[in-house]
Amino acid sequence: MKILSSTVRRVAGPALAAGLAVTAFATPASAAPAPGSTVTRFGGSVVLSAAAGVKNQVTASVSGGLLIMEDLSGVTAGPGCTQLTATTARCGSAGSVGQLTISVGDQDDTVTNSTGIRSVIDAGPGNDIVNGGTGNDTINAGTGTDTVNGGGGNDTINVHDGTGGDTVTCGDGFDVVSADPGDIFPTGNGCEVGSGIF
């Protein structure tokens, strides 16, 4: 009986270990979530494009003369930019950037341009918040109930989507707005020319 018991143990031991190894390899590793956007720079043009189905929180800022692009949902640095953290990328000298293009697509997104660089912002579908910079911005709020602050500069703002409820503050500069009846323009909104608001 002792010999048999010892034999069983010798056979069962490797088999059990092999079973555990198979189980370990068979268990799928949890995949890391994909970044919410990708940013690239080609010459004087910086472009940030969002992935579908992501609620983006994007900020463009300048630190030490360098353009920093942040997306709290995660950002991947493409050609012309350098990864700093999972949510930030550096895209070279801000002074040589002529245009900043940001497209955040669907979901309820937030975009803030904290620079003086001219920007083109497409907020897409969803209830979005867009804050323009001190330069000349072109902002297309898309569909949804949006809040747009043009900031400084001569801005072109489009909240025309066939329904009211959007809130627009143009700010300083000479600003042109396309809107719908029922959109909201607070007192002192700073809008000079508007379709559907006057």
Helix/strand/coil for 3: helix
Q: Using one digit for the tens of pLDDT, what is the confidence trace for 170-195?
A: 999 999 999 999 999 987 788 887 76
d(CA 148, CA 139): 8
d(CA 121, CA 197): 21
How high is the pLDDT of residue 152? 95
Percent of all residues in the chain with a pLDDT value above 70, rounded to a whole number:
81
Hey, how many other C-beta atoms are within 10 angstroms of the C-beta on 67? 24
Phi, psi of 65 (to 5 degrees): 80, 0
Region 120-127: mean pLDDT is: 98
Identify the burial level of 129 via C-beta atoms within 10 angstroms of its C-beta, where 0-12 means exposed, 13-18 middle and 19 or more buried: middle
Q: Which two tokens stand for residue 112?
A: 């803030």
Q: Using one digit for the tens of pLDDT, what is the confidence trace for 32-59?
A: 557 899 999 999 999 999 999 999 999 9
How high is the pLDDT of residue 5? 46
Q: Which two tokens stand for residue 9?
A: 């143990």
Determine if the pTM surpasses 0.85.
no
Region 56-78: mean pLDDT is: 98
Local confidence band at 2 (pLDDT 50, 70, 90 cut-offs): very low
Q: What is the DSSP string of 128-191?
A: -EEE--SS-EEEE--SSS-EEE--SS--EEE--SSS---EEE--SS--EEE--TT-B--TT---
